[in-house]
Amino acid sequence: MHTFFAIFLLAATANGPAVHPANVTDPPATHPTLVQPPKRPNGLTLYNAQGERVAQCESKDDVFTNCKIAADMTFDDVMNAWVHALKDMQK
């Protein structure tokens, strides 16, 4: 029985090392998420169901300011765009 284990160990070590050293000089393939946080958008743009821009607002300290409705759009179009955006967020 001891002879069997001796042959087994000899065969296992004769093929070379089972663990290969890692090359630590290679740069990582991806950047960690915490190093580069995503940039916050500096405004809000509302689109209708057809993809047309309805309104655009600037954002500062979580408050929307200087909102402008696109030409030929009504307040109803803006409200429908809000509903469209809310439905997209719920998907």
- Is residue 68 included in any domain, yes or no? yes
Classify residue 57: in a domain, yes or no: yes
Q: Is the pLDDT of residue 55 over 70?
A: yes
Residue 12, domain member (yes or no): no
Contact criterion met (CB below 8 Å) for 77 and 54: yes
Residue 49 lies in a domain: yes
Domain of 90 in residue numbering reads as 40-91
Residue 10 lies in a domain: no
Is residue 46 in some structural domain? Answer: yes
What is the model's pTM? 0.51
CA angle 80, 81, 84 (to 5 degrees): 90
Domain count, the chain: 1
pLDDT in tens, 33-52: 555 666 666 888 888 888 89
Dihedral sign (CA 8, 9, 13, 18):
positive
Query: Mean pLDDT throughout 72-90?
Result: 89
